[in-house]
Amino acid sequence: MSSPETGQAGLWHGTTILTVRKGGVVAVGGDGQVSIGQTIVKANAKKVRRLGGGAVIGGFAGATADAFTLFERLESKLEQYPGQLTRAAVELAKDWRTDRFLRRLEAMMIVADKDVSLVLTGTGDVLEPEAGIVGIGSGGNYALAAARALADGPLEAEAIVRRALDIAADICVYTNRNVTVETLPA
């Protein structure tokens, strides 16, 4: 059985991607670990990147090749619908769910621009998180809980993402401390 977190045949284990909106800033961060079974095959993968000419930040959990395919498709949708992340995401989700090739892709994505943060799944979901905080991947729930606990304190969005990912790395064996964080003013 496979899932977005474990990948094909249950061998791949995911990552941790977290988004926080606070104080007029959106921050998206992710760890760098790629594992197959019990083996770490890469410790410094970049799973967070800018899209749409730098106006959108995306992060993925799941199979790397599948995620890059989805990033390319999202870039195409962002060119088709400039400045409309939600519309581009909905169009990608429709394709992802109905296209025979895309349907088999094993990944989840978080995308954010100055206005909205969204989670995209292969089942056609386009979800906007409550309170501007969302986590995906094998350590996503740990990072989400930590970020929610930190959100009312003095830390800014990027610092919350970094601290929450650090906490997730203490708990999830598929999450490391080689993080990439991108930010945008909201």
CB atoms within 10 A of CB 132: 18
- Which residues fall within 8 angstroms of residue 99, CB to CB, at 6 or more apart? none
Q: What is the DSSP letter of 37?
A: T
Q: How far is CA 113 from CA 20, 53, 82, in A?
A: 12, 11, 12
CA proximity to 30, closest of 116, 123, 106, 109: 109
For 119-169, the three-class secondary structure string (H helix, E strand, C coil) is: EECCCCCEECCHHHEEEEECCHHHHHHHHHHHCCCCCCHHHHHHHHHHHHH
- Say whether 6 is catalytic: no
Cα angle value 102/61/75 (rounded, 5°): 55
Q: Judge contact between 32 and 42, C-beta under 8 A.
A: yes
Which of 15, 19, 175, 180 is flagged as catalytic?
A: 15
User: Would you name the residues annotated as active-site residues?
Assistant: 15
